[in-house]
Amino acid sequence: MLTNSNVLIVDDEPEIRELIGLYLTREGCNVHEAQNAKEAIQQVEHINPDLVVLDVFLPDLDGIELCRKIRQITEVPILFLSCKDSEIDKVIGLSVGGDDYIGKPFSMHELLARIKAHLRRSLLIHKRVEKNIYKSASILLNADRHECHVSNQRLILTSKEFQLLHFFMRHPQQVFSAEHLMEKIWGFDAEIDTKTVMVHIGNLRKKLQGTSKKEGIISTIRGVGYKFNEDVQEVTSNISEGF
């Protein structure tokens, strides 16, 4: 079950990383390590791990906040490790996007069993027929996995950038005002203005630059709004990453 799975261990204690890594390597895992939040984000973006083991206490950023950042990039299982194992600590960890919470000290056999269970569940989910997938001439977007590929390359988007692109791809060739996008993506009661929408669309355009026509995938209709220029097909069968 663990063979060739990419597991990222995020912990500032080298002994913990070495111990977990030793057991996972014996199970056939590809083990990757990070000793702080900065390294963890770099590793998540680079290797796209199948699972993350995350310590709550890190030197540069709280593990809870790091979990929130990782959730903007990927939906892979996240298992918290912490010496704080009260009910409220576990509730907080799970509420920010963690999938499991294990107190220190822990049993390696229990940790391995939980890792296997999460990887098995994740694999079953990915084998199912996926319906929330959209494909244009240059983009493949899987909303269930929160993944986007452009010309066979993984594109890292923030949560709002992803939501905007998802909305545009569900409504290709239609023009939407900034106010309409603000309501749909941020919500009717959001305390933002249309300039925020413009900034996010600008950032999204930069990341998509060079993937379509000269005017870009998302064009501005002066005085009206924004339009996604490519035709989009909704795919209803399981697709491997890329084109």
Break the chain into its structural domains and give their ranges. 6-127, 133-235
Task: For domain 6-127, give the fold.
Answer: Rossmann fold (3.40.50)
> What CA–CA distance (Å, rounded) separates 60 from 55?
12
> What CA–CA distance (Å, rounded) separates 44 from 34?
10
Q: Are strands 153-154 and 175-176 parallel, antiparallel or unpaired?
A: unpaired
Question: In this predicted structure, what is the pLDDT of residue 58?
Answer: 93
Alpha-helix residue ranges (DSSP H) falling in 33-97: 37-47, 63-71, 87-95
> What CA–CA distance (Å, rounded) separates 109 from 97?
24
Q: Please provide the CATH number assigned to the domain covering 133-235.
A: 1.10.10.10
Q: What tens-digit pLDDT sequence spans the chain (243 residues)?
A: 567 789 999 999 999 999 999 999 999 999 999 999 999 999 998 888 999 999 999 999 999 999 999 988 888 899 999 888 778 888 888 888 898 999 888 899 999 999 998 888 877 655 554 568 899 988 999 987 788 998 888 888 887 889 899 999 999 999 999 999 988 888 765 566 788 888 889 889 888 875 544 457 899 999 999 999 999 998 765 444 444
Cα angle 48-33-37, degrees, rounded to a multiple of 5: 80
φ and ψ at residue 146, rounded to 5 degrees: 55, 50
Residue keyed to tokens 């990383």? 17
pTM, full prediction = 0.54
> What CA–CA distance (Å, rounded) separates 57 from 70?
16
The partner residues of 176 in beta bridges, in order of sequence, read 226
Question: In this predicted structure, what is the pLDDT of residue 194?
Answer: 81
Closest CA to 11 of 73, 51, 63: 63
Question: In this predicted structure, what is the pLDDT of residue 3?
Answer: 72
Give yes or no on whether 6-127 and 133-235 have one common fold.
no
